[in-house]
Amino acid sequence: MEQILRYFPSLSPLQAERFGALKALYDDWNSKINVISRKDMDSFYEHHVLHSLALSIPLKNMLVPGDRILDLGTGGGFPGIPLAIMFEDCEFLLCDSVNKKTKVASEVAKALDLGNVTVVNDRAENLPGSFDYVVSRAVTSLDKMLPWIKGRYGKGVLYLKGGDIEEELDRCISRRMFDPKMLSVIDISDFYGEEWFVEKKIVIIRR
């Protein structure tokens, strides 16, 4: 939590309380349903919460109240749950095809009383309606993910990705999946000083 408060000092008391409750909730659920590696739980706030909240930095200048955000491949609730805590006036749909993962995400959202979160156990192709934004945390390569959400988002896609992404982006551009002018890549290490974030990036595709 010290890391969260250092980078996000303007949290409301309720937001700080909810972020503070996350570790105990995930410790409890992870002991029943293993959705986060035991090793990763030792760096829970850095590797999961802070990583997810990197998206909030560009999103704060993009979202408007009432926007609908799809978290595709949410796993146990990342990045969707931290973002839902941060953006209380937006609606989040957390989707994953693995039932045990969506059970954890759903129970954590319920424990935190996050009324702006809905969790579904399904594939992206089966979801009804459309969204303003799609967020995801390296669920697969971008060129594989984009066809799943084609025509399903109105404003943009924000994708957390690590390592060398040039080849992946080149494949997307060569297949005309988006206009290169709509693409931007942000180094997360521009925001955070921890070594773990070196080479981790946010890929943003705007409509």
Determine contact, residues 198/179, Cβ cutoff 8 Å: no
Determine contact, residues 58/83, Cβ cutoff 8 Å: no
Please tell me the number of Cα atoms within 13 Å of 138 on its side-chain side: 12
Q: Which long-range contacts (CB under 8 A, 24 or more apart) does 40-46 make?
A: 43/196, 45/1, 45/3, 45/4, 46/3, 46/194, 46/196
User: CA–CA separation, 7 vs 119, rounded Å?
Assistant: 28
Q: What is the pLDDT of residues 106-124, one digit of tens each?
A: 999 999 999 999 999 998 8
The per-residue pLDDT for 188 is 97
Q: What is the pLDDT of residues 28-79, one digit of tens each?
A: 999 998 888 888 888 999 999 999 999 999 999 999 999 999 999 999 999 9
Q: What is the pLDDT of residues 127-159, one digit of tens each?
A: 888 999 999 997 788 989 999 998 889 999 999
Determine contact, residues 188/202, Cβ cutoff 8 Å: yes
Determine the topology of domain 2-206 in CATH: Rossmann fold (3.40.50)
133, containing H or E segment: strand 131-137
The per-residue pLDDT for 125 is 84
What residues does each domain of the chain span? 2-206
Neighbours of 96 (CB within 10 A): 27
The per-residue pLDDT for 207 is 86
Note the helical H segments in 8-159.
13-32, 38-41, 44, 51-53, 56-59, 80-86, 99-111, 142-145
